[in-house]
Chains A and B, each alone.
Chain A
Amino acid sequence: KAGVTQTPRYLIKTRGQQVTLSCSPISGHRSVSWYQQTPGQGLQFLFEYFSETQRNKGNFPGRFSGRQFSNSRSEMNVSTLELGDSALYLCASSLARTGGTQAEAFFGQGTRLTVV
């Protein structure tokens, strides 16, 4: 069974540009979440999608947005890039919460974004 696939693995962008990152979840997983990882702030939750609907959003500015398609693939977009957006962006997929339990999430290898 294929894991979570994130593309591209590495990106270098200039301040002010925009970027789109892609995530293909594990087959059958309908929940996709995005996290930003930096040395200073650690792992911070960006947003979570389930069946094309954003269910939850972290504390990030509106420059960060996302969407999910009918095949559960997800994209996140960052507009007007700032130096501080340099980070590892991780996507995770999981089964929806059922029966009062919480399923574990499976993470992709991430996209390393460098803003110069």
Chain B
Amino acid sequence: AQSVAQPEDQVNVAEGNPLTVKCTYSVSGNPYLFWYVQYPNRGLQFLLKYITGDNLVKGSYGFEAEFNKSQTSFHLKKPSALVSDSALYFCAIGNYGQNFVFGPGTRLSVLP
């Protein structure tokens, strides 16, 4: 069975500092991995995805993620955090176009 873990419920970072939101996964076969962000009272917004190819994936709003097959991880990163990045972040596995399995989410707070 597919599963996604996000080991941190909450991540706090100062504005201007680099941020990392962690994600590990379990899946048989090649994974399709995604990051989504949710702002209060909103739906989820797509940030980036890894399907195949380069292990470093660049996405929207300056975010990037590194796929590490040996560690089964797909951590989200940004070199310099903004207060406006404060939101709920979800890592997900794609299930061949039919649905996503989401992690529990990590709340990111960027402090001014």
Contact = CB atoms under 8 A, between A and B. Distances in A.
Interface residues of B, number: 24
Contact of B97 (A35, A43, A103): A103
B96 A97 contact: yes
Contacts of A110: 42-43
Contacts of B22: none
B40 to A, nearest CB: 11
A75 interface: no
B51 interface: yes
Interface string A41-78: 01101001010000110100000000000000000000
B102 A42 contact: yes
B43 A107 contact: yes
A31 B98 CA distance: 8
B101 interface: yes
Interface in B64-95: 90, 94-95
A15 B100 CA distance: 30
Contact of B46 (A43, A56, A106, A108): A106
Nearest to B92: A43
Contacts of A101: 32, 51
Contact of A102 (B41, B42, B45, B97): B97
10 contacts: A42-B105, A43-B100, A43-B105, A56-B98, A92-B43, A94-B97, A97-B98, A102-B32, A105-B46, A108-B43
